[in-house]
Structure 1
């Protein structure tokens, strides 16, 4: 069962006019937030102190503002980007019939079905640096030319100059997701 804290006005210029904090006895460590009309809802564990609540509200407002300010491009722009990357790095040989964002890929950054010439990118890439999105697109475009991850595939992908940098970035994201999400956890 959740209990609701009193609502308050945002303190950091957030676009929402009201902040509602919902405490849940079932929620143990995670904190999340979302927009609900002109209201921002922050979900926290019931056992959290008032000071932790205030800190998390600020963190989550900043996180939501950053997400909302990031420019994301749609499927049409993604297809055009893939076409441009294919031309630039693969001589136009990697032609995708469809390229689109999907929300059902949480363990992969992208996937490709060569027989259908379709590429799908995880929505989790939205808001990441452009060179990272370009790398994942190049990776999937390369699969249109070479199945699997053998030496021929990696030689082909070497055409994209930021391959190693992008792979390192994505490995860092995966590593960060494994860290505890409670600020001050080391202080106790």
Structure 2
């Protein structure tokens, strides 16, 4: 596969961080102005590699399987919910009209909208922790949010989903379902 066209943008206001994103057929790498050409080359190579790995993970058929969702739920439950949330089943479903995902606590099942197949892993992880928390607390009360907020990127993921909802003009129902407290 041919290397993409790369545009390097330097900024005097940028002090330490380096970031990159795709803009059509090219990759834009944002660097601090003070970096040397050798540092620039290093960071361009590094950021191209990171983008490739991220895109490969997102497109991976394994990530998009129901089995992978179940495995991810097990890991997230261990890490953030003391291993207490154990679903009977987790599966991808056709895009839902008003939700990103849903849980039926009485059956222990979780359904995740296929719309989330393309989001970053940390956003999907938030949605899974949210639904796993419903296995512990069915409603959206403060005790529910205590569990959900154990996931460190909760507020960031909610913001991402709110932006995705607005950008896709999916309606306020989706945004309301991910509201914080």
Query: Could you tell me the TM-score, scaled by structure 1's length?
Result: 0.57
More helix by share: 2
Number of the residue aligned with 2:59: 70
User: Is the 1:83–1:95 contact (alpha carbons within 8 Å) kept by the matching residues of 2?
Assistant: yes
Aligned to 2:162, which of 165, 168, 171?
171
- Show structure 2 runs of 5+ residues with no match: 1-23, 25-54, 171-181
Map 1:109-120 to 2 at 5 A: 109-120=100-111
Give the superposition deviation at 1:82: 0.2
Size of the aligned set, in residue pairs, is: 114
- Report SS of the residue matched to 1:99: strand
Query: Residues 104, 127 of structure 1: CA spacing in aligned structure 2 closer, same or farther, 3 A cutoff?
Result: closer
User: Is the 2:100–2:113 contact (alpha carbons within 8 Å) kept by the matching residues of 1?
Assistant: yes
Number of the residue aligned with 2:85: 94
User: Is the 1:106–1:124 contact (alpha carbons within 8 Å) kept by the matching residues of 2?
Assistant: no
Number of the residue aligned with 1:17: none
Task: Please identify runs of 4+ aligned residues in structure 1 that moved more than 6 A.
Answer: none
- Report SS of the residue matched to 2:118: coil
Give the superposition deviation at 1:104: 4.6
Counterparts of 1:178 and 1:106, CA distance in 2 = 12
- Report SS of the residue matched to 2:111: strand
Q: CA offsets per residue over residues 43-63 of structure 1, 9 Å max, x none?
A: xxxxxxxxxxxxxxxx8xxxx
- Show structure 1 runs of 5+ residues with no match: 1-58, 60-65, 180-188
User: Is the 2:95–2:115 contact (alpha carbons within 8 Å) kept by the matching residues of 1?
Assistant: no
What RMSD in Å do the two structures reach over aligned CA positions?
2.0
Query: Could you tell me the TM-score, scaled by structure 2's length?
Result: 0.59
